[in-house]
Amino acid sequence: MFKKVLIANRGEIALRVIRACREMGIRTVAVHSVPDADSLHVRFADEKVCIGPASARLSYLNIPALISAAEVSGADAVHPGYGFLSENAHFAEVVLRCGLTWLGPQPEVMRLMGDKVSARAAMSKAGVPILPGTAVIETDAEAEAAVERIGFPVIIKASAGGGGRGMKIVEDRSRLSAQLAAARSEAQAGFGNPAVYLERYIARPRHVEVQVLGDGERAITLGERECSIQRRHQKLVEEAPSVALDDARRAELLRIARKATESLGYKTVGTLEFLLDEDRNFYFMEMNTRIQVEHTVTEEVFGVDLVREQIRLAAGEPLRLPGDLRPRGHAIELRINAEDPVTFAPSPGRITALNLPGGLGVRVDTHIYQLYLVPPYYDSLLAKLIVHAETRPAALARLRRALAEFVIEGCKTNLDFHRRLLSNADFVAGRLDTRLVERMT
């Protein structure tokens, strides 16, 4: 097992890794930018290294600085968290070439699944359903021919991207050329790669993902998560299990996800993401080759520490979890962000008052504290509120109670948005799709 892990990240996920390492007897190294010097992940790690100024490009995305921090601290492994360089195959390769262990999947698998077009091809070969679509579209003429086969509406997606950047919905032929140009421009700006492809567009899908673990030979699934509550392709609420699936549909989805994971020879934790149409048919969307923000709801319903399992698998230990684990009860996670609850504009600032909810079945993963200065340079996530109860209605009641106790003052947050969501009849009834937030606002 490792002696010291460097965490190439910040905020709540860095704290989450520190906690798992401490329970396993592993020392930790926190890296931080100058404005993050007083962050809790820096305080609770065993060692700390400043890696640069506020700009993420000069700090958390600075590969030479991260490798130098690992070398000067004597770390023998690097955990990337999520975001930043967590799915960067080049960073993983540099880590390995420097004699360190990468707490993630093989770089070649990251590269394969990080490109949406190659990922679609790999999943189709493994027998996973995919939406009708194309390879990379080079010309308008190729796009014109493709829509004859696929039909409208279509969605243009960046081959190298995610998070909504480079995505354009096209309803008819008149906008196809202009939207292709716009998508390529966004993809180039966001990912340094202008490649885009087309896919049939489902107007009101559900977003359901499967948690997978693999040791290179065997893979298992730990159920599914419903992630349909989104704004501009950014998740706001996640829950497990999904109310959209009956036992037969769930069994089929999990069987296919396990088979796909084994076909990759996948090592560590990961997530296969699917879209469900109105008939509950599911189609592969993408694979996240890292720990997910929403891993917490899976942990709550299965009683498994996923970060601990991630570390064990990276150390070369085989999967020891049985493949027939069943979820216990229902868990829901709310992402609490520093943003205006109406406009969703970022809202950095100093937290002048803070009260975190507690009690039976309530978990808060956060890096904030009273008088913490929320910086304007990074993601706006402040905390994750997770509840667990025997049923979904009981979990919703627990969420309402926890939200009533949650106080953050000094910067705007989306706490009020979540309170409104919990009174929305469609959400309460489980009638979810990725456009629900748009209809609310």
Q: Which residues are catalytic?
A: 290
| 4-103: CATH topology | Rossmann fold (3.40.50)
- Reported as a single tens digit per residue, the pLDDT across 275-332 is 999 999 999 999 999 999 999 999 999 999 999 999 999 999 999 999 889 999 999 9
| 206-440: CATH topology | D-amino Acid Aminotransferase; Chain A, domain 1 (3.30.470)
DSSP 8-class letter at 34: G
Which residues have a Cβ under 8 Å from the Cβ of 265 and sit 6 or more positions away? 106, 109, 214, 216, 217
Average pLDDT of the chain to the nearest whole number: 96
- Reported as a single tens digit per residue, the pLDDT across 82-92 is 999 999 999 99
Query: Which part of the chain is CATH 3.30.470.20?
Result: 206-440
Question: Whose CA is closest to 37, among 55, 49, 28, 19?
Answer: 49
132-200: CATH architecture: 2-Layer Sandwich (3.30)
Question: Whose CA is closest to 329, among 397, 385, 403, 393?
Answer: 393
pLDDT exceeds cutoff 80 at 243: yes
A 10 A CB-CB count for 103 gives 29
pTM of the entire predicted model = 0.95
What pLDDT does residue 191 have? Answer: 86
For the segment 122-151, the average pLDDT, to the nearest whole number, is 94
Report cis status (omega within 30 of 0) of the bond before 107.
no
CA atoms of 331 and 387, how far apart (whole Å):
6
For the segment 160-176, the average pLDDT, to the nearest whole number, is 86
Say if CB 78 and CB 100 are below 8 A apart: yes
Query: Which part of the chain is CATH 3.40.50.20?
Result: 4-103
DSSP 8-class letter at 202: P
pLDDT exceeds cutoff 80 at 416: yes
Percent of the chain with pLDDT over 90: 94
What pLDDT does residue 254 have? Answer: 97
In sequence order, the β-bridge partners of residue 7 are: 30, 79
- Reported as a single tens digit per residue, the pLDDT across 371-380 is 999 999 999 9
Task: Express the helix, strand and coil content of the chain in percent, nearest 5 each.
Answer: 35, 25, 40
Question: Whose CA is closest to 330, among 408, 246, 184, 224?
Answer: 224
For the segment 168-182, the average pLDDT, to the nearest whole number, is 93
Helix H, strand E, coil C: the string for 97-140 is HCCCEECCCCHHHHHHHHCHHHHHHHHHHCCCCECCECCCCCCH
Query: Which part of the chain is CATH 3.30.1490.20?
Result: 132-200
Say if CB 135 and CB 107 are below 8 A apart: no
